[in-house]
Amino acid sequence: MKTKEKKKSFELPSDEPKWLFEKRLSALISYEKEPLPNRVSHLWKYSDPSWFEFNSNNGSIVSSEKLKPVFALDNEATEKGVVLIELSDAFRNEKYNDLILKYFSQLTAKCPNKFAYFNEAIWSSGYFLYVPKNVKIEKPITVRLLFNQLSSLEAVRILILLEEGSSLNLIDEMSSPEDSKRLLNTVTEIFLEKESRLSYANLQLHSKQTISHLFQRAEIKNNAELTNVIVALGGKISKADLGTDLCGTHAGVTTYGIVLGDGVQKFDHHTTLEHNAPYTKSDLNFRVALKDTSRSAYTGNLKISHEAVKSDAHQENRNLLLSSDAKAESIPELEILTNDVTRCNHGVTVGQIDKDQVFYLMSRGLSQKEAEQVIIEGFVEPTISRIPEESLREDIMLKIKNKLGVL
């Protein structure tokens, strides 16, 4: 009865449906059964799995108060039937039972992961976003997940569902106050039905004490398109595992990644892009700039299955090292099972700051720090400038400037 006891210790809300409680239990069992990933195994070479584990060694205690995501839906969205509510509320509301049953944990079930099990067992906060058929919302919706309590473990669960022909711009902003120390485990599932379009940005602005594990999976149906922006500026250790399944004809995903590291920050990002249907398209642009003793590992896995004829895939990863103690690893992985590809290429560069550029800028009166700041901004600019929404571009640039200002 060890697991049940443990379960109890998480003090989860008792008003949940019974089936969800059962699901949590079975996820907890899976979590305990699943061994910690071996350091030589795929995707764990650059991070120690025990960092993300819940145990008394790293002082993790479970939150007793629930974190509340902050968001507001405007009238237009509400009138058109867009739903944005806390996930636990969605579970309690019979209206959403069918949808939740149909979609919740469907994508995580496809790829067993110890930390996703953990999330499924203990998640307490997060949200459910639903956009009905053919509803198109232009104005971006921002959800703020501010971890301002003292508790040190949070498990966040996000479920996003866009019905056929719908369209939405969504921004998740995750942050925590400067001195807070915590372990964060987030699982996000994104479903894009036929011809829908989602622009999704995840802005990670955690305190330098935060350890975070993000597990995101997206499923893209026929003619649907995902624009996925991930900006990682904060955290002590952040690992993000982003997977996209292009399972419908003409499905597409565009990924923009920005990582800025300083101090002792560690970043470990993976993207897995699976082309599983004909005429699918993926484009990825990932830029990493590192100072001090920060380090980043980026693994870009690209799979084109035998069925995915006429696919088009392009990946680009650029790394800028600003100190001799910074470390960047780039691990592209291309697995191509058909020759009938429209385009498939990959490029990586690792380079240092151009001293002549610094000199040039300094000769115009900038301090060294300012010059470097300008160069870093210039380095990430080509990626940011391709992000479709202007307001998001500005917001990201502002946050980058903020971070560079305190570098």
Partner 1 sequence: MALELNNEYQYGFHDSEENYAFKSGRGLTKEIVLSISKMKNEPQWMTEFRLKSLEIFYKKPMPKWGNTQLISEIDFENIFYYVKSSEKQEKNWEDVPKEIKNTFDRLGIPEAERKFLAGVSAQYESEVVYHSLREDLKKLGVLFLDMDSGLREHPEIVKKYFSTIIPPEDNKFAALNSAVWSGGSFIYVPPNTKVEIPLQAYFRINTENMGQFERTLIIADEGSSVHYIEGCTAPTYSSDSLHSAVVELIALKNAKIRYTTIQNWSKNVYNLVTKRAVAHEGAVVEWLDGNMGSKLTMKYPSIYLVGEKAHGEVVSVALASGSDQHQDAGAKIIHAAPNTTSVIISKSISRNGGRASYRGLLKVLKGAANVKSSVKCDALMLDEKSRSDTYPTMEIDEQGVQIEHEATVSKIEDEKLFYLMSRGLSEEQAKLMIVNGFMEPFVKELPMEYAVELNRLIELEMEGAVG
Report the interface residues with partner 1, using CB under 8 A: 40, 306, 309, 319, 321-341, 344-353
Residue 302 Cβ vs partner 1, minimum distance, rounded to whole Å:
9
Residue whose CB is less far from partner 1, 344 or 396: 344
Residue 341 Cβ vs partner 1, minimum distance, rounded to whole Å:
6
Q: Which residue matches tokens 């398109």?
A: 225
Residue whose CB is less far from partner 1, 40 or 406: 40
Residue whose CB is less far from partner 1, 46 or 103: 46
In whole angstroms, how far apart are CA 82 and each of 92, 96, 143, 193? Answer: 18, 12, 14, 15
Residue 237 Cβ vs partner 1, minimum distance, rounded to whole Å:
18
Q: State the helix-helix crossing angle for 2-9 and 18-33, rounded to 10 degrees.
A: 120
- Output the CA angle 297-300-303, nearest 5 degrees: 155
Residue 290 Cβ vs partner 1, minimum distance, rounded to whole Å:
9
In whole angstroms, how far apart are CA 136 and each of 67, 191, 251, 260? Answer: 29, 16, 18, 33
Residue whose CB is less far from partner 1, 56 or 339: 339
Q: Which residue matches tokens 């003090």?
A: 11
Residue 336 Cβ vs partner 1, minimum distance, rounded to whole Å:
5
Task: Tokens for 316, please give them.
Answer: 């680009």
How far apart (Å, rounded) are the C-alpha atoms in residues 173 and 159? 15
Residue 332 Cβ vs partner 1, minimum distance, rounded to whole Å:
6
Task: Spell out the long-range contacts of 72-77 with Cβ–Cβ below 8 A and sequence spacing 24 or more.
Answer: 73/141, 74/139, 76/137, 76/139, 77/137, 77/139, 77/141
Tell me the sheet residues that pair with 261.
290
In whole angstroms, how far apart are CA 167 and each of 135, 137, 194, 197, 219? Answer: 6, 6, 11, 5, 15
Residue whose CB is less far from partner 1, 304 or 392: 304
Residue whose CB is less far from partner 1, 306 or 401: 306
Residue whose CB is less far from partner 1, 42 or 110: 42
The 3-state secondary structure of 85-105, one letter per residue: EEHHHHHHCHHHHHHHHHHCC
Tell me the sheet residues that pair with 284.
255, 315
Q: Which residues of 87-104 are buried (b: 16+ CB within 10 A; e: fewer)?
A: bbebbbeeebeebbeebb
Residue 307 Cβ vs partner 1, minimum distance, rounded to whole Å:
10
Residue whose CB is less far from partner 1, 328 or 392: 328
Residue 370 Cβ vs partner 1, minimum distance, rounded to whole Å:
19
Residue 258 Cβ vs partner 1, minimum distance, rounded to whole Å:
19
Task: Tokens for 325, please give them.
Answer: 């103690």
CB distance 273 to 253 below 8 Å: yes
Residue whose CB is less far from partner 1, 9 or 41: 41
